[in-house]
Amino acid sequence: MSTATLAPANDHEHHGPPRGMRRWLMSTNHKDIGTMYLIFALVMLFLGGASAMLIRAELFMPGLQLLEPDLYNNLVTNHALIMIFGAVMPAAAGLANWMIPLMIGAPDMALPRMNNLSFWILPAAATMLMLSFVVPFFPGGGSQINTGWTLYPPLSLQVGMSMDFLIFAIHLLGISSVLASINIIVTIFNMRAPGMNLMQMPIFVWTWLVTAFLLILVVPVLAGGVTMLLFDRHFGTSFFNAAGGGDPVLFQHLFWFFGHPEVYVLILPSFGVLASIIPTFARKPLFGYKSLVGSMIAIMFIGMVVWAHHQYTIGMSLAAVSYFMIGTIIISIPVGLMVFNYIATMWRGSMTFETPMLFAVAILLMFSFGGLTGIMLAVVPADMQYHDSMFVVAHFHYVLLPGAVFGLFAGVFYWLPKWTGNMYDERLAKIFFWINVIGFNLTFFPQHFLGLAGMPRRIIDYNIMFTEFNMVSSVGAMIFGLSHLLLLYIIIKTIRGGKPASARVWEGANGLEWELPSPPPFHSWTTAPQIK
Amino acid sequence: MAGEQNLQSKNRRTLLMLSAITLGMFGFGFAMVPLYCFLCQITGVQSVQQRTQTTASTVAANQSVSDRWVTVKFDSTVHPDLPWNFQAQERKLRVRLGEVNEMDFIAENRSSSEILGQAIPSVVPWQANAFFNKMECFCFRQQSLKGLESKHMPLRFSVSPDLPNDISSLTISYNFMRLDMNNEKPFTVVAK
Ligand code: HEM
Ligand SMILES: [Cu+2]
């Protein structure tokens, strides 16, 4: 890393933002970069959502209507990768960029030029990802990526050149998130206002600290894994190619060594958002700060050693599956502890239910439900039945949508008045909440029954006995998907105007970010705040 | 401004430390390759390499015929690079433990040129591995088929009476690989 990335945290020369495209292309301002991350994530949310709606449209009826089997599986692959790497992670990074410096009283991120780089890699990576989807439609473009997001060999060794685009996209996405994580850790360690020690930081900052560490620990392993795939495909090595003495199961281990911690990467920042929202609207201080921090750290360590619960069916020894089963069940204890802390925060509070709080309550309910199905899946003999069925799909959507995506929505509603200086339209936002949550449950609840009854995942066609539940699920998916147009409308409307927001915005809000005016000036905390 | 200087060098130190962790984890990914083989070895899961080297000498000591019956299933896969058909004559066989049985496999070259291949066996569940004895197997040797040639490939085997009681059925699975990929001769598939 050159010293050029270590520019002083803020430039005293000019006080307003530069004009035109330069403001965005060359930005080193944490607020502008945060905004770009969030806009990028929103665009990706719509792309990933469109692929999901195509999938559900195809599954509305048994038989093949709209898609070919390979195209269907390519959509499944693309949907997952876009949502995880394009929507959720960048949105969480956007919140981090906006809020961490404001919350810890820092003038900007510690490495502002690196910050610019980690954002601008993303559009390039997204383009690669799109190309991997588009290339097979052209003559000579090879076959579609029909592996699912897990990219298991031997299938991923046989796919055409679109797989190479995807591997490079994953490299770029990995580099971007590692750079962002390093930046966040350096900022949190070195840029706190004098007098703020680690145990005084808002929980949101803590969640990102743990997330960033998880990312730099596991993303390089995924990068190594896909690099080996690339070598097997083009340079005659046999890491995974059984014909040359390699072992495809090794890839599964590398993938899930990344993949399981990744689920915590996705939920932790959103859990941090809840730790800001719930005390605000319960008008009570957060319950159990220390145990929240302890839980997160426990999740980080245990989360890195339970990955093979995704691979119970590969024929591990009894001792190995027992270990992974027990580890997996143990990890639900710190996760549950975080949920209980939030419930205890609400206990006997004087609660009001503005949209962020509505989301928070819904998240706790639905996420806990997903955690319960997770425990079912953790049990080896049960998982032998449920593995690769729609039940798994239902499980991870119940944890991921509430746990990660809804948490981000809640955060956007909570901080949008701070960012823009305008209140959002509360009535529309509540309508959005209800359509969104009802649509979500309509889509994914029936998938539990489908999975238990034996419908496999990642297959375009199904037995006619599954028709009714699939129809309900598809109708739900259309409601759920389209409801996001309302979200888009609310956000645009808020940016363009609305009731002016006060500095504190919410009556019960606490924390440094609320001491700044709404919207905060382009350079904030140029002199560090006093920590009492 | 001494403070700013100080902060910069502090930032640089943290940055270097974190970059080192990142690079270390990238290396760890590759270290998993030998580590994984090693773990499989000490826990008794045979790697593909070891399975190819298994010969008739692994026949277990206990050769008395018992009256316990198990089902042996025969599975076969052909690697996409190899234009062969390959299949057992029967899908499964009921056998008595200790008894010597034979199963015939048929391999057929669909292309017009001579190709070298080798079958790699594996047993599921893997716990049965040590009790499945191959007295004679086409998988001990490389096999060569001329263009359009087809060949009977026999497997002579027994299942040891020491087979753990909870196993009542096992599958022997062959994956036929192409060996002469490097001096890649172009071939044309002429049969189906
Ligand atoms: C109580 C906590 C949890 C437990 C015990 C648990 C357990 C499991 C198990 C055993 C599986 C593998 C199922 C199979 O493939 O047969 C699984 C799959 C999955 N879980 Fe969880 N889980 C928990 C929480 C979470 C959370 C919080 C997330 C994400 C935010 C998550 C995301 C996923 C995903 C994405 C998959 C499927 C991956 C795939 O195969 O594509 N889980 N879970
Ligand atoms: Cu997992």
Chain A contacts to B (CB-CB under 8 A): 1, 3, 5-6, 8-9, 110-111, 158, 178, 181-182, 185-186, 189-191, 216-225, 228, 236, 239, 242-243, 245-247, 250, 253-254, 257, 315, 317, 319-320
CA of B190 to the centre of ligand 2 (A): 47
Strands laid side by side in the B101-109 sheet: B84-88, B101-109, B150-159, B132-137
The model carries a pTM of 0.86
Q: What share of chain A is helix, strand, coil (3-state, %, to 5)?
A: 70, 0, 25
Best residue among A310, A322, A369, A448 to mutate for probing ligand 1, ranked by most atoms within 8 Å of CB:
A310
Count CB atoms within 10 A of the CB of residue A254: 26
CA closest to A221 among chain B residues: B29
- Report yes or no: A279 and A214 within 8 Å, Cβ to Cβ: no
Ligand index nearest the alpha carbon of residue A363? 1
Tally of CB atoms within 10 A around A96: 30
What counts of helices (H) and strands (E) characterise chain A? 17, 0
Closest ligand, as measured to the CA of A395 = 1
Give the pLDDT score at A150.
95
User: Least CB-CB distance to B14: which of A189, A253, A257?
Assistant: A189
Give the model's pLDDT for residue A3. 38
pLDDT for residue A243: 74
What are the pLDDT digits (tens) for B169-192? 999 999 898 887 654 444 455 554
Using CA atoms, how far apart are residues A355 and A190, in angstroms rounded to an integer? 35
CB-CB neighbors (< 8 A) of A221 in chain B: 25-26, 28-29, 32
Q: Report the alpha-carbon distance of residue A54 to residue A51 in Å, rounded.
A: 5
Nearest CA among A332, A329, A205 for reference residue A264: A332
Ligand 1 pocket, mutate which of A364, A388, A396, A401 (most atoms under 8 A from CB): A396
Per-residue pLDDT tens digits of chain A, which is 532 residues long = 333 444 444 444 456 777 778 888 888 899 999 999 999 999 999 999 999 999 999 999 999 999 999 999 999 999 999 999 999 999 999 999 999 999 999 999 999 999 999 999 999 999 999 999 999 999 888 899 999 999 999 899 989 899 999 999 999 999 999 999 999 999 999 999 988 999 999 999 999 999 999 999 999 999 999 999 999 999 988 899 877 778 889 999 999 999 999 999 999 999 999 999 999 999 999 999 999 999 999 999 999 999 999 999 987 878 888 999 999 999 999 999 999 999 999 999 999 999 999 999 999 999 999 999 999 999 999 999 999 999 999 999 999 999 999 999 999 999 999 999 999 999 999 999 999 999 999 999 999 999 999 999 999 999 999 999 999 999 999 999 999 999 999 999 999 988 999 999 998 898 999 999 989 999 888 888 887 6
A435 CA → ligand 1 middle, Å:
26
A270 to A88, A277, A364: CA distances (angstroms): 10, 11, 11
Distance CA A113, CA A136 (A): 37
CA A300, CA A211: separation in Å to the nearest integer? 8
Which residues are CB-neighbours of A21 under 8 A, at least 6 positions away?
none
Question: Domain span at residue A73?
Answer: 27-515
Closest CA to A29 of A108, A114, A94: A108
Mean pLDDT, residues B44-68: 58
CB atoms within 10 A of CB A226: 24
pLDDT at B63 over 90: no
User: Tokens in use for A44?
Assistant: 């990706």
Q: Which two tokens stand for residue B66?
A: 């018992």
- Helix/strand/coil (H, E, C) string of chain B? CHHHHHHHHHHHHHHHHHHHHHHHHHHHHHHHHHHHHHHHHHHCCCCHHHHHHCCHHHCCCCCCCCCCEEEEEEEEEECCCCCEEEEECCCEEEEECCCCEEEEEEEEECECCCEEEEEEEEEECHHHHHHEEEEEEHHHCCEEECCCCEEEEEEEEEECCCCCCCCCEEEEEEEEEECCCCCCCCCCECCC
Q: Whose CA is nearest to atom 25 of ligand 1?
A: A399
Cα–ligand 2 centroid distance for A450 (angstroms): 21
Beta pairing class for B132-137 and B150-159? antiparallel
CATH number of the structural domain spanning residue A168: 1.20.210.10
Distance CA A321, CA A327 (A): 10
User: Exposure pattern of A386-402 as b/e (b: 16+ CB <10 Å)?
Assistant: bbebbbbbbbbbbbbbb
- Those residues whose C-beta lies under 8 Å from the C-beta of residue A55, and which sit 6 or more positions away, are A72, A75, A76, A79
Nearest by CB to residue A217, choosing from B19, B25, B127, is: B25
Q: Which of A345, A206, A367 is nearest to A281 (CA)?
A: A345
Question: Which value, to the nearest 10 degrees, does the dihedral of the CA atoms of residues B139, B141, B145, B151 take?
Answer: -50
**Nearest atom of ligand 1 to the alpha carbon of A389:** 16
- Amino acid, res. A520: P
Overall number of domains in chain A: 1
What per-residue confidence (pLDDT) applies to A271?
Answer: 97
Q: Which of B29, B36, B127 sits opposite A224 (nearest CB)?
A: B29
DSSP 8-state secondary structure symbol assigned to residue A64:
-
pLDDT tier, B64 (very low <50, low <70, confident <90, very high otherwise): confident
Q: Spell A130-146 as b/e; 16+ CB within 10 A means b.
A: bbbbebbeeeeeeebbb
**Superfamily in which the B51-178 domain is placed by CATH:** Ctag/Cox11 (2.60.370.10)
Residue listed under structure tokens 């710190």: A334
Q: A1 vs A175, A188, A522, B79, B86, CA distance in Å?
A: 13, 19, 28, 45, 55
Count CA within 13 A, CB hemisphere, residue A47: 22
A382-432 pLDDT per residue, tens: 999 999 999 999 999 999 999 999 999 999 999 999 999 999 999 999 999
More reliable by pLDDT, A5 or B70: B70
